[in-house]
Structure 1
Amino acid sequence: MANTKEIQKRMKSIKDTMKITNAMYMISSTKLQKAKKKLADTEPYFYTLQQAFQRILRHTPDLESIYFRDTEHIPVSEKKVGYIVVTADKGLAGAYNHNIFKIAHSLFEQGGKNSLFVLGELGRQYFAREGLRVHKHFKYTVQDPSLHRARMITDDIVERYQRGELDEVYILYTRMENAVTAEAEMRKLLPLEKDKFAAKLPVDVYQETLTPQPSWEKILNHLVPNYVNGFIYGALVESYASEHNARMMAMQSATDSARQILAQLSIEYNRVRQAAITQEITEVISGAKAQKRKK
């Protein structure tokens, strides 16, 4: 059994750790609130772009464009697919990164001409360790998502798509469903699917005539990158919020565990201390009896 000094030393170490986990919890809580505000601010812009596509496709359902091309006929082994993988720069966030890595691994096990575009330091380290070739590292910190960084990623990906280097583009990120649950998911960015923009209108609703100036292709060359940029930015912000939400839960769990250990150590400390006091009393009584017998 450990002595009182050893138990006190361990209790002090746990209390110091609790200070760190509590501080990390508060920091993540503050950053989570900022991320939620950013997400709320971008939603109107994203929905407006969706409505613009709905309006265009409502009037020109047969619109032909590289952004709406059909890739179903391309064999899986020949299809050039790009995956933008959003991970964290730091750990201590529960299963946040693991869930993304799990999806990425399953995709690469299927074979095909896959390309990885990675954000986040932990993602870069993980794929290097696993021996998976990363086509490009976007060396931006994911701790402070911005429209400028999202635009840099968008310009690179869209340019590769336009040149035919990629047939399809997906993004792997973490979507926060509520304060407790976050799900890693994959969403298709390119090519766009017309069915997802279909909107049913009542028969008696007036539909104006749209005349493209100078052409639909040039309009789409402007709209599509903005739409993709909005989605990537939203995914970065949502992943950022999910990361801090996961870290809050992990730090809360660590703090609760530390409290339980402290409670157990406190009981053990009291037992050891009581045993030491009992031993001292026994020794004093034994000594007194010995002195009495000598007299």
Structure 2
Amino acid sequence: MANLKEVRNRIKSVSSTQQITKAMKMVSAAKLKRATNAIVQLRPYANKLKELLANLSASLENGSSPFLVEREPVKVLVIVVSSNRGLAGAFNANVIKTANNLIAEKYSEQLKAGNVSIVAIGKKSQEFYQRRKYNVIGNNNDLYLDLNFENTSKITESIMTGFLKGDYDRVELVYNHFRNAAVQYLVTEQLLPVPKAEVKAEEKASQVDYILEPSQEEIVEQLIPKNIKIQVYKAVLDSNASEHGARMTAMDKATENAGELLKALKLSYNQARQAAITTELTEIVSGAAALSA
């Protein structure tokens, strides 16, 4: 059995850790509220814009917009949205694993040819792919310091410019979709070229013939760049809310585990102290008996 000093030191250490995890849980809970409000307000608009644009572009020819043109995916860009900090459970590991699986399953030939590039949003994914000698474009770790649409749009504009110049033939987006504080699920979606909606025959028959002003081509041309920026911004907000939810859950579990460990350590401490007292009493009684003999 460990001596009393060792057990006391461990109790002190675990208590300090428990205070830290409890404080981190409270901080993440406060940040989660703001992050949740942001994504909840944006998501309906982003989803409706995406749906509207997909339906409008479904009947257009590829040539109506360069962002709709399907090309052979010789060069691929993968946007991986992670966080800057750890202590969020498997949050970062899961998004990186999903991105790696996407590359291995769909773009293994491009990877062998050195034609897979990474745009990492978040320090954890940035460091991971840089260590493994991937072609990591730019450094976006400061985005979370001032997360807004304008700063996110700068990243998206550089990606759109690269697509138009032919630097990438396809752009994929990997991020955590926020459902609630305890549940986040990973999403992989094609960002560029913009996917068209597949209109079924029965849906086409029931569609209303709208009068569009200006023309359908002009509306799509104006909406596509905006939609691309909105979808990336939504992904980053989703990931930001998911990060705080994952960290809050992880710190809550860590606090509970620290509490269980403290109970076991205090029990061990009491047993050790009782054993020490018993030994001292035995020695006193034995000494008194020896003197009286």
The reply to whether TM is greater than 0.5 is yes
2:197 corresponds to 1:195: yes
Query: How many residue pairs get matched?
Result: 285
**Secondary structure of residue in 2 paired with 1:92:** coil
Compute the RMSD of aligned alpha carbons.
Answer: 2.5
**1:136-179, CA deviations, whole angstroms, 9 ceiling, x for partnerless residues?**
32242335531112211111111111222221111111112333
CA contact (8 A) 1:80 1:167 kept: yes
Residues of 2 paired with 1:140 and 1:229: CA distance? 18
Radius of gyration: which is bigger? Answer: 1
Equivalent position of 1:43 in the other structure: 43
2:98 corresponds to 1:103: yes
Q: CA deviation at 1:199?
A: 10
Equivalent position of 1:233 in the other structure: 233
2:83 corresponds to 1:81: no
Equivalent position of 2:129 in the other structure: 127
**1:232-276, CA deviations, whole angstroms, 9 ceiling, x for partnerless residues?**
111101101111111112112211221111111111111111111
Q: Do the aligned partners of residues 134 and 198 (structure 1) sit closer, same or farther apart at CA in structure 2, a change above 3 Å counting?
A: farther
Aligned pairs for 1:162-173 within 5 A: 162-173=164-175
Residues of 1 paired with 2:204 and 2:173: CA distance? 35
Aligned pairs for 1:27-38 within 5 A: 27-38=27-38
CA contact (8 A) 2:177 2:185 kept: yes
**Secondary structure of residue in 2 paired with 1:194:** coil
**Secondary structure of residue in 2 paired with 1:123:** helix
Q: CA deviation at 1:44?
A: 3.6
**Secondary structure of residue in 1 paired with 2:142:** coil
Give TM-score scaled by structure 1 length. 0.87
Residues of 2 paired with 1:16 and 1:198: CA distance? 61
Aligned pairs for 1:135-284 within 5 A: 135-142=137-144, 144-195=146-197, 206-212=208-214, 216=217, 218-284=218-284
Equivalent position of 1:4 in the other structure: 4
Q: CA deviation at 1:108?
A: 4.1
2:67 corresponds to 1:93: no
Q: Do the aligned partners of residues 119 and 63 (structure 1) sit closer, same or farther apart at CA in structure 2, a change above 3 Å counting?
A: closer
Instruction: In structure 2, give the amino acid aligned to 1:111.
Output: E
Tell me the percent identity.
Answer: 33
Mean Cα deviation higher: 7-16 or 174-183: 174-183
Give TM-score scaled by structure 2 length. 0.87
**Secondary structure of residue in 1 paired with 2:79:** strand
- Structure (1 or 2) with the greater helix fraction: 2
Residues of 2 paired with 1:104 and 1:55: CA distance? 28
CA contact (8 A) 2:116 2:135 kept: no
Residues of 1 paired with 2:268 and 2:291: CA distance? 35
CA contact (8 A) 1:145 1:240 kept: no
Mean Cα deviation higher: 85-94 or 45-54: 45-54
Residues of 2 paired with 1:183 and 1:26: CA distance? 23
Mean Cα deviation higher: 126-135 or 204-213: 204-213
Where does structure 1 differ by over 6 angstroms across 4 or more consecutive aligned residues?
197-200
